[in-house]
A and B are shown apart, each in its own frame.
Chain A
Amino acid sequence: MNDTNNLLKMQGISKEFPGVKALQDVDFSLSAGEVRILIGENGAGKSTLMKILAGVYQADSGTITFDGNELELDGLTPRKALEMGIATIYQELNLNNYTSVYENIFYGKELLRAGLFIDIKGQIREAKKLLDIVGLDVDPCTRIMDLSIAEMQMVEIAKALSFNAKIIIFDEPTSSLSETETRTLFSIIANLKQQGYGIIYISHRLEELFEIGDTCTVLRDGRYIDTRAVKDLTIPELIKMMVGRMVDASQTHTRSVIEDVVLDVQHLSYRDRVKDVSFTLKKGECLAFAGLVGSGRTEIAKTLIGEYTRASGTVRYHGKEIENKSVAESVKNGIVYLSEDRKKEGLFLKHSVQMNIAISSLQKLMKRKLLDPGKIRKTSLSSIEQLNIKTPNDQVNAETLSGGNQQKVIIAKWLLTQAQVYIFDEPTRGIDVGAKAEIYKLMESLLAEGASIIMISSEMPEVLRMADRILIMREGCCQAIIENDNLSQEDVLHYAIGANTYHVCT
């Protein structure tokens, strides 16, 4: 690629978070009028790299040259990056729902009269110009809440342009858009490209890449793999680059699954997030839900446990139909959920480890009609010992524990309820490598004792290591259920991104 044309050049970018090397020596460059796709698996470092460019994170080392000037790595803040002309359209939109389009565009840089009063007419006029550029035909005085998601996104783009952006980063912009809205977005991007903006587009939908991309950069495990022209690429090549490593065969397991069906789920639907999903779960089996983030895996779990109300479908548990109208009912039935967001949906951070362990089985820890503090203490201490939870005692607050030990506290909580079906949502997210192995061991001992596990995971090695069968989700539909038998990451990824479909659902 021609060096002199580069609008942006990032070289040797490295970034380390506690326990994780998020980026190692990554190079990235972009020319004006180029649409660059940034692709990689979950956790490959795409977002981290872009957040460094946008000033959200500071790189540990490396250089960034933008528009001919080398940037100071330490001094880059989101505001500075924006003012220099690097704008990001995040998945979560940052708009104020209750105010108008033009107000949102000019927040923080209001046009003033006499340095004091907001020039409303001027803002409306300028906003209109920006909206014309992105092709959004709405009155600038419309309130944000009256717009569709796609229109809100266009407002975000207009806002980016108002900073005289030269580079616009799109972070998985189509994940919440409908088909037609996606079309509109693509034509806007094509239009922006024509006008000489540099576009960086983060995605893991392959079809999009071929549609709008000029070039494509692949990251894997925080490393730069390659940059190629899209027209010379094929899907198998791309998947190979994304997955790269071979799976260590020694990690795959042998386990005896009993043929008793514990859970039989038929035609489960929830809003438009879960569409007619059916599967069974056997005693002692680990069924993994694979697929991309947002493909409806967590929604299946939450519908199963009664957190969400199912639109249709039946659930049989040991042959008997169950309703699971509330989480309380599900827990009583022995079907429990361990959220990926342990801090928000699992722990009581400001309460003791003891309370966190005992909270769901208090009815078993009573003497006459009252709670028995002695029994609670004994039970929690024996859980701590049994699961090898590293904590000074059972009275410290749960927030003081490491991620792995917090996860163990939650497992301990459900063990005490003698649950039979454990739904793990990203069981090892945010947990360091050493503790990961311990969590896997715990899961394996659960299976050995006859419990069943549904494991939602975005980490392919984890899926291939733990699962007996893999259910692959894509956009709310079950793509396939396959035995985990000599599978490769490529096989699974094929289904997840829809490059290969033999089980199409309605």
Chain B
Amino acid sequence: MSNEKTSAFSRTAVLHLLKNNGIYIGFFLIFLLFSFSSPYFFDVNNIKNIVVQSSIIAVIAIGLTLVILTGGIELSVGSVVALTSMISAVLISQFCLPVWVSVLLGILVGGLCGLINGIIISYGKVPAFIATLGMMSFARGLALFSTGGKPIAQLPLTYEAIASSKVLGIPVFIIYCIITYSLAWLYLKRTRGGRYIYAIGGNRDSARLSGINVKFHETMAYVICGFTAGIGGILLTARLNYATPTAGNGFEMDAIAAAVIGGTSLAGGQGNILMTFLGAILIGMLKNGLTLMNVSSYLQQMIIGIVIVLAVFLDKQKQQ
């Protein structure tokens, strides 16, 4: 009798553990699976590689997490990546501006795209899905228009250095992740704007009636999202040493997936920015491990699709 009770108890305990730590367990299982199935996977260089490969999506996913926390969505980040990439390259190659000026202006354009999105959504009351869908098409079109669709190669070495440098032997991309995630964490946890983003996503009416300037702070989330997409665009250009208007295609989906796998609720108000990083790494790890196992990239897409839905399914179970 007592035995039955303990086993029943432990079963619920295990279920509880599974529900509440789904992402860690999933992460760990995938890690184990790849470590055993490929001799190259569990290797310091490969793991560094995974982080570097995931870092661009990870940075873009910061902004997306903020937007999703407000209860919104942002589909234009992939196009904004291409736009910032092209703008920075055009400024260098055609206007002969210094690299650092071009890069900063490129990132600024990303922020501007976010500002436009935010204003249209918050003040113009256009649904975020539609407003950013419009921006997705507009920014991509502008990127293509800037050079008539031609890519720009042979960027200065200083541009490439943004990606290829190492600090104390650590790839600089990892440093970028640490810096951007620290800033994002600080913003969400330790500033009013960050707390308000949670409040707005949690209950918009309550937020407004609590005296929060909902429109302003919601717009800020989109501005930050534009900036992180802009940074993502620069990082991608630097890594490829090549700017192309078709860059960043589908990045919005990877970034949304990173946030959602990390447990950010699409309903808004719930989520942790550091878990988004874990979500981005998990996607990167999947892609890396599956490639090492010689799984075709088509099959990889299918598996990633399953993982995204599974992550949200587990999250919903947790809430009940």
Q: Interface residues, chain A, CB within 8 Å of chain B?
A: 305, 307, 326-328, 330-332, 336-337, 339, 344-351, 355, 359-360, 362-363, 366, 369-371, 373, 413, 417
Contacts and interface: CB of A to CB of B under 8 A. Distances in A.
A351 B198 contact: yes
Contacts of A336: 211
A342 B207 CA distance: 12
A347 B206 contact: yes
A370 B194 CA distance: 11
Contacts of A331: 210-211
Contacts of A363: 192
Nearest to A344: B205
A337 B211 CA distance: 10
Given A355-B198, A359-B199, A307 B209 contact: yes
Given A337-B209, A349-B203, 9 more contacts: A327-B208, A327-B209, A345-B205, A346-B206, A346-B209, A348-B203, A362-B195, A371-B192, A371-B195
Contacts of B195: 355, 359, 362, 371
B300 interface: no
Contact of A355 (B190, B191, B199): B199
Contact of B208 (A307, A355, A362, A413): A307
A336 to B, nearest CB: 8
A84 B210 CA distance: 48
B276 to A, nearest CB: 19
B205 A359 contact: no
A413 B206 CA distance: 12
B93 interface: no
Contacts of B270: 350
A442 B209 CA distance: 21
Contact of A328 (B190, B212, B269): B212
Contact of A359 (B186, B191, B210, B269): B210
Nearest to A331: B211
- Smallest CB-CB A-B distances: 6 pairs: A331-B211, A348-B202, A370-B190, A362-B192, A371-B190, A360-B210
A307 B190 CA distance: 28
Mostly helix, strand, loop or mixed at chain A's interface? Answer: mixed
17 contacts: A327-B210, A328-B213, A336-B211, A344-B203, A344-B206, A348-B198, A348-B199, A348-B206, A351-B198, A351-B199, A351-B269, A355-B195, A355-B198, A362-B195, A371-B191, A371-B195, A373-B190
A366 B189 CA distance: 12
Interface in B197-231: 198-199, 202-203, 205-213
Contacts of B206: 344-348
A371 to B, nearest CB: 5
Interface string B71-88: 000000000000000000
Contacts, number: 74
A331 B208 CA distance: 10
Interface residues of B, number: 22
- Count chain A CB atoms within 10 A of each CB in B209, B211, B269 and give the residue with the most: B211
A367 to B, nearest CB: 10
Contact of A370 (B186, B196, B210, B212): B186
A328 B211 contact: yes
B211 A332 contact: yes
Contacts of A369: 191
A10 to B, nearest CB: 38
Contacts of A345: 205-206, 209
B203 A347 contact: yes
Interface string B138-150: 0000000000000
A359 B186 CA distance: 17
Contacts of B189: 371, 373
Mostly helix, strand, loop or mixed at chain B's interface? Answer: helix
Interface in B150-200: 186, 189-192, 195-196, 198-199
B202 A350 contact: yes
Contacts of B207: 348, 359
Contact of A348 (B191, B208, B269): B269
Contacts of B186: 370
B209 A326 contact: no
A309 to B, nearest CB: 14
Contacts of B210: 327, 331, 346, 359-360, 413
Contacts of A417: 211
Contacts of B209: 305, 307, 327, 337, 339, 345-346
B166 to A, nearest CB: 31
Contacts of B269: 348, 350-351
A366 B210 CA distance: 18
Nearest to A363: B192
A330 B212 CA distance: 11
A349 B205 CA distance: 12
Nearest to B193: A362
- Count chain B CB atoms within 10 A of each CB in A345, A355, A366, A369 and give the residue with the most: A345
Contacts of A328: 211-213
Nearest to A329: B211
Contacts of A327: 208-211
A373 B208 CA distance: 23
Nearest to B319: A350
A252 B119 CA distance: 52
Contacts of A413: 210
A351 B202 contact: yes
A144 to B, nearest CB: 23
Contacts of B208: 307, 327
B187 to A, nearest CB: 10
A370 B191 contact: yes
Contacts of A346: 206, 209-210
A280 B219 CA distance: 38
Contacts of B213: 326, 328
Contacts of B198: 348, 351, 355
Nearest to B194: A371
A330 B191 contact: no
A363 B199 CA distance: 15
Nearest to A413: B210
A305 B210 CA distance: 11
B309 to A, nearest CB: 23
Contacts of B196: 359
Interface string B224-244: 000000000000000000000
A355 B186 CA distance: 17
Contacts of A337: 209
Nearest to A305: B209
Nearest to A372: B190
A65 to B, nearest CB: 41
B197 to A, nearest CB: 12
A359 B196 CA distance: 8
B175 to A, nearest CB: 23
Contacts of B202: 348-351
Nearest to B198: A351
A41 to B, nearest CB: 28
A379 to B, nearest CB: 14
A348 B211 CA distance: 14
A358 to B, nearest CB: 8
B46 to A, nearest CB: 38
A342 B89 CA distance: 53
